[in-house]
Amino acid sequence: MSFGSGKISRYYAALMLGFWAILLMAVPGRAEKADVEWTMYDGVSIPIPPAEHPRLYLRARDIDDLRRRTTDPVTKPIWEKMQAAGKSDPAGAVEVDAIRYLLTQDEELGRRTVAAALKLMRETTFDMDQPGMKYWITPLRGRLMVTGAVVYDWCYPVLSAEQKKAYVEEFVNLARGMECGYPPPKTNGVTGHYSEWMLMRDMLSTGVAIYDEFPEMYEVAANRFFGMFVPVRNWWYQGHAFHQGSSYAEKRAGVDLYPLWIFERLGAGPVYDPNLQFLPYQWIYMRRPDGQLLRSGDGQNVPTKLCTLLNASYYKDGYVMGDYLRNPEIDERSLLFAFLWRDPELKPRPVSELPLSRYMGLPYGWMVARTGWDEESVIAEMKVNIYNFNNHQHLDAGAFQVYYKGPLALDSGVYQGTMGSYGSPHDVNYNKRSIAHNCLLVYDPAEEFTFHAKPLRNDGGQAFPNGAREPKNLDDMLANYQTGEVLGQGFGPDPRRPAYTYLKGDLTKSYGGKVRQVQRSFVFLDQAEQPVRAVLVVFDRVVSSNAEFKKYWLLHSMEEPRIDGRVITIALQERGWHGKLVDEVLLPSKAEIAAVGGAGKEFWVFGENFPNEPKTALHQGATANNEVGQWRVEVSPREAAETDYFLNVMQIMDRDATGLAVHRIEDGNMMGLLVGDTSIFFQRDGGRAEGTITFQSQGSRFLVADLAEGTWSISRRGAVVQANIGVSGQEGVIWFEGQPGEYVLRKIDGKTGR
């Protein structure tokens, strides 16, 4: 007989601390101590760029390495692509020539390059006549600034005084034409366009280059970066995930890597919390066997590329490099950074070495559980959402997704479609809303929803935090954007291939005054390659402020579900998919179960459809093979009550497989089920149990959740079969194996030993 306990959590923590410690060891080439001076500017400490050139992206000490990169088998192809691209791209051509100047010190080449870059900045025009064009041309203006900054810094010895003055004038003009303007404001550095390239790459790079002649641009950019951007990022890095979804990772999470490398090469050392290293692990764990990612936030499947490459190279992380190498192509205008910063000696490491479950903590409260890393793998995502950042993050507290040989339970909706994108009727009434996710709804007919003061359709779901306004800074996040709390999380007993993965959250804050309490518990079971590959159990306790508010449990699917009494089957037929999900509704005991979807109701929100269709080709390289989901199942109690329980058992298998027997178990404050040979128990009142618990089951594997922290014992037929089992406050779970029968779990008084 084997037992899981709080000891497993401590064992796992120790094992993983050692595992990650290896990855966090000193990185070759990184400054162990900052070798620059720091100064105060407008109340913020910033490093002073060294009085030498080159200093942007590389230093004189890096020239030999740069030369090696032109012949190294890994970086030589990048160099060749840059040269080829430069034949049709004037900006790329001057960047290539600037590198050649660094390598040869050919003064004539340097003078030609300086003149060509200045001419390019002067003569490039941008169409500003169309509404909204300022956003779309801002990255173009910014990237042109980077080209000019590279030439200015790398070819500095051949610049004349007149050229320096002309360059500075062009840089300031380009910056003023950006969406944020110049000088950049002291405003939102958390989400939004300002958190993209314009400050963290474009102005910061240019400021470093022209610091001697025009220090203001560097000083204001560095001031905003260290004063506003760094604190909130270091806070969210601890969660090892990104809040704006994978489609915005390249332009939001990816831009964080530019200052990391810029200040590293300046000699200012690492400027972020080292937890940034593990942010890409979210994408590793959400990677499906077909190479796509589970859907997250706005957009569909847009791969992360440069940001994973730069992260892997900086932190010498072979797992992240392996994820990048799945699809290593990057756009031509990013080749420069790949050439300069990719670590050619870093080898990929197999993901098979990683644990199969991963928890992403504060400020997220997300869990991903897998059964493996191959084509036969089941992947399940479970969310609490401790905080919600708005913007491209959805109102999906409590949501789950399941993938097995196709998307079985998914996030639905269209972000960029034929009927509009951000802020469109479909986007704000359906796509971003709880009704588009595998969430709970509590429908108060009088409730009013808004998006930036614009009235929305009542979906019965969660409201945008703080009126959908984007957070300004870390203090604003902490004060106005908390939406949930993790009440328990863990997996085991084997930390590398866990039999169970557990997550419980309090979602009450997400639903506002229409509820008194909303709790959701997830248990994912790895069935160890049996015909039923995995099981996902979802248990909900929902207490509304009014018994008449109807509650709904949602399950979204790509294809029309089949409903047979209390059993819901999603058996995929399209696109070569072969997976099947069978959900048995154990609670409510008297339930209404109905399918919603099909023609005219694809994106139905209580009386109104919000149509949208994916464009055949989306921006940023997204495929036309979108998965938007046009069906859902709604499960509701037949009788009105303030407190309702939902208990659903989803079995994941191949299309032709047969599911396991499922039985509900209730005994006093214990609510649970038996699925196959595994019994799972929760506390009816949602709290942590103290004292003594008794249950009877025919299973041979047992998971008992909602236990108080402390030392417990397990007895069967009056005999103690396991004593001194530690239950952690973090997890609150005991997992054990044994014979069927009646069990007694007793919390032991630590002082008396009883």
Reported as a single tens digit per residue, the pLDDT across 709-725 is 999 999 999 899 999 99
Catalytic residue from among 193, 240, 243, 437: 193
User: Looking at residues 293-304, what average pLDDT do you find?
Assistant: 85
Reported as a single tens digit per residue, the pLDDT across 87-132 is 999 999 999 999 999 999 999 999 999 999 999 999 999 876 565 6
17 confidence band (pLDDT: 50, 70, 90): very low
Burial of 449 (0-12, 13-18, 19+ CB in 10 A): buried
Reported as a single tens digit per residue, the pLDDT across 603-634 is 999 999 999 998 864 444 444 568 999 999 99
Can you tell me the distance from the alpha carbon of 398 to that of 409, in angstroms, rounded to the nearest whole number?
A: 13
Check if the beta carbon of residue 587 is closer than 8 Å to that of residue 645: yes
Q: What average pLDDT is seen over the chain? A: 92
Can you tell me the distance from the alpha carbon of 244 to that of 393, in angstroms, rounded to the nearest whole number?
A: 5
Q: To which residue do tokens 């200045």 refer?
A: 118
Q: To which residue do tokens 């050392």 refer?
A: 269
- What residues have CB less than 8 Å from 25, skipping those under 6 apart? none
248 is catalytic: yes
Can you tell me the distance from the alpha carbon of 173 to that of 504, in angstroms, rounded to the nearest whole number?
A: 52
% of the chain with per-residue pLDDT over 70:
93
Q: Is the pLDDT of residue 80 over 60?
A: yes
Cα-based torsion angle of the residue sequence 503, 508, 510, 511 in order, rounded to the nearest 10 degrees:
130
Q: Is the pLDDT of residue 246 over 50?
A: yes
What does the DSSP 8-state code read for residue 649?
E
Is the bond preceding residue 531 a cis peptide, omega within 30 degrees? no
How many CB atoms are closer than 10 A to CB 83? 16
Looking at residue 707, its amino acid is: L
DSSP string, 531-565: SEEEEEEEEEEEEESSTTSEEEEEEEESS--EEET
Can you tell me the distance from the alpha carbon of 23 to that of 506, in angstroms, rounded to the nearest whole number?
A: 34
Q: Measured in Å, how far apart are the chain's first and last C-alpha atoms?
A: 23
Can you tell me the distance from the alpha carbon of 674 to that of 663, in angstroms, rounded to the nearest whole number?
A: 5
Check if the beta carbon of residue 383 is closer than 8 Å to that of residue 366: yes
DSSP string, 368-422: EEES-SSTT--EEEEE--SB---TT--S-TT-EEEESSSEEE-----SSBTTBST
The tokens describing 501, both together, are 């993965």
Cα-based torsion angle of the residue sequence 518, 602, 288, 293 in order, rounded to the nearest 10 degrees:
-80
Give me Rg for the CA atoms of the chain.
28
The tokens describing 91, both together, are 């900006």
193 is catalytic: yes
Check if the beta carbon of residue 31 is closer than 8 Å to that of residue 264: yes
Residue 44 CA to its chain's centroid (Å): 30
Can you tell me the distance from the alpha carbon of 725 to that of 734, in angstroms, rounded to the nearest whole number?
A: 8
Check if the beta carbon of residue 262 is closer than 8 Å to that of residue 218: no
Is pTM beyond 0.75? Reply is yes
263-294: string of b/e by CB count within 10 Å (b at 16+)? bbbbbbebbbeebbbbbbbbbbbbbbeeebbb
Q: Is the pLDDT of residue 14 over 90?
A: no
% of the chain with per-residue pLDDT over 90:
87
Handedness of CA 497, 651, 393, 644 (dihedral sign): negative
CA-nearest of 582, 497, 539 to 673 is 539
Cα-based torsion angle of the residue sequence 400, 404, 408, 410 in order, rounded to the nearest 10 degrees:
40
Check if the beta carbon of residue 395 is closer than 8 Å to that of residue 432: yes
User: Looking at residues 651-680, what average pLDDT do you find?
Assistant: 96
User: Looking at residues 561-590, what average pLDDT do you find?
Assistant: 97
Q: Is the pLDDT of residue 29 over 60?
A: no
Per DSSP bridges, beta strands 500-506 and 485-492 are: antiparallel
Q: How far is CA 446 from CA 439, 443, 459, 460, 514, in A?
A: 20, 9, 11, 10, 10
Per DSSP bridges, beta strands 701-704 and 678-683 are: parallel
Can you tell me the distance from the alpha carbon of 577 to that of 559, in angstroms, rounded to the nearest whole number?
A: 11
Reported as a single tens digit per residue, the pLDDT across 526-553 is 999 899 999 999 999 999 999 999 999 9
Check if the beta carbon of residue 552 is closer than 8 Å to that of residue 443: yes
User: Looking at residues 252-269, what average pLDDT do you find?
Assistant: 96
Catalytic residue from among 392, 394, 426, 556: 392
Catalytic residue from among 41, 218, 248, 443: 248
